[in-house]
A and B are shown apart, each in its own frame.
Chain A
């Protein structure tokens, strides 16, 4: 519930409340007895009537203050609103990471927010690819992402359910001008305190593709509160963050056979607004301690290497993402493109429009004002009317 004002510019009028109070206080001062020589001819007023006068004076003051308050309310037009006071089309999104990590909580939160905003709960990424699904090649990913951003720009407000720790950098990108409300999930109590994010794939022959995978993995890791990738991975972990094909299942002999990028190559990765330099060769992670384990695999089917790595982890693998920069059929594929397609179609005419709260003039302060005024007139008439009292 938000208290908002249609014309908050009139709120200064409430400051005028000080005027009747000042008048009252000053007239109390002026109420020092007046020397009056002909007092003997003034009829005496009984005590109970005097008390009545004092009471009605205070009542009149109260009424006049309330009248000013009602006038202020009438002009400023207060509104009690339950929704976000933005206008346009509302959309609720779930970040892939949140969906991957805690799908139930993410869906519940998204649905609750959708009903609060008054939009039909159209949950994107519900059919986010599960391991085993394939993504057909399509348009360049950059084009799709740009299109996606453009589509997102039509939504305002934009509620995004995010994984614990921060927003996906996709939603932090500048092209989205919508006001974004971040709905951060509470991590379930059962969740482990450690998360590992891996980027692995067998299509290592494409440098761009690997780079994208690495960048995505690293971004996800960086925005997570459990940034265990890299420097603070436990010492002695014998599983390396693999960039390339994993050649053996033997955990002890895990090697990277053919790296496109040398393991000690430094790479600039944009995470949100920051640019960090990472040496992936040193990015170690204690996979055994990681639960859940997020594996970002680049290609359609779960990468063998990724599978291999995942099997080494003691934790449960919750997510396999595919992100292939050269996938030509993204829009019709079952991977991340599903999410993009939904974004694009959300703005279709069938999509529910979020209506701003209707704002007819609230007349109740006027009626209150009228009532107070009548009461004030009546009372002040009674106060001065000759013979107005019963015992006159």
Chain B
């Protein structure tokens, strides 16, 4: 199943799109649900020798005369942090494209959140933009995913990455081994973002930096002479894209390579997403690559 960005943009509703994308990923994966101790009831199973007695549902025994064990969905101790860049540069889109980078990031976050919720992981959301703050404290369960959708809905792009310095502080209490997804375009006025994102990988955390890019940025095939405006600094530059294209592409590529290197050096992983491509396909490819054994 492939959902193109136009369809996604029309769907609008994060719940549907997030679930649609994630289900597309889950389809055929036979993940199955793991059962075990937990709070969310999952199923009854006949008692087998070795099961602790307190897990036997005595009321059911009273009704049926058979020993059954009450099982809940297994809750993992994995904690997933979604860090969303909401600076103004995330609000841009390829002319004619349906989704801004932030729009893409919201849907991606919803999908990742759904996957995490399905696996019983804890979910948390951090906004990184005008200010950096925890928008959703981590918790597990289905309700948490709906809370995540609400929190995502309230985000909009604008302003500078002024609070990027406090990013490590905000996630200071992130437990060891937490999975941190950073959704950003990694454009920064100074080097603050990269340093702070890289520091997230310290403490044995699993950092996944997802770089979102528009095709207008990756291709830069604007004809003739254009005036371009930086959404964050407001600077306007008159330029001739066909003339400076090669120089621009080289400089951007070298920057992103540097970002990838630094994040890899810190122990994180760096991936690139084109926001003008079908989201579910990109996500599936990304997750496949991630789950493949490292060479």
Contact = CB atoms under 8 A, between A and B. Distances in A.
B231 interface: yes
B255 A41 contact: yes
Given A43-B248, A383-B224, A384-B223, A37 B240 contact: no
Contacts of A387: 243
A39 B232 CA distance: 10
A32 B226 CA distance: 8
Contact of A57 (B92, B225, B231, B236): B225
Contact of B230 (A39, A388, A392): A39
B29 interface: no
A32 B238 contact: no
A45 B244 contact: yes
A42 B236 CA distance: 11
Contacts of B237: 39, 42, 44-45
A34 B228 contact: yes
B250 to A, nearest CB: 9
A392 B243 CA distance: 8
B244 A40 contact: no
Nearest to A39: B230
B27 interface: no
Nearest to A34: B228
Contact of A38 (B95, B187, B224, B247): B187
B225 to A, nearest CB: 5
Contact of B229 (A34, A41, A43, A384): A34
A31 interface: yes
Contacts of A40: 187, 189, 230
Interface in B92-117: 92, 95, 101
Interface in A23-67: 31-45, 50, 53, 57
Nearest to B229: A33
A31 B228 CA distance: 9
B79 to A, nearest CB: 30
A46 B90 CA distance: 29
B67 interface: no
Interface of A: 31-45, 50, 53, 57, 383-389, 392
Given A38-B217, A39-B235, A45 B229 contact: no
A33 B248 contact: no
A389 B252 CA distance: 22
Nearest to B218: A38
B243 A35 contact: no
A42 B239 contact: yes
Contacts of B252: 38, 41
Nearest to B228: A36
B243 A389 contact: yes
Contact of A385 (B225, B228, B230, B243): B243
Contact of A35 (B224, B225, B231): B231
Contact of B243 (A33, A38, A384): A384
B214 A53 contact: no
B122 interface: no
Contacts of A53: 225, 238, 240
A38 B88 CA distance: 12
B246 interface: yes
Interface string B105-137: 000000000000000000000000000000000
A50 B236 CA distance: 13
Contacts of B255: 41
A32 B238 CA distance: 11
A45 B226 CA distance: 12
A36 B217 contact: yes
A33 B224 contact: no
| Max chain B C-beta neighbours (<10 A), residue from A43, A53, A383 | A43
A31 B225 CA distance: 9
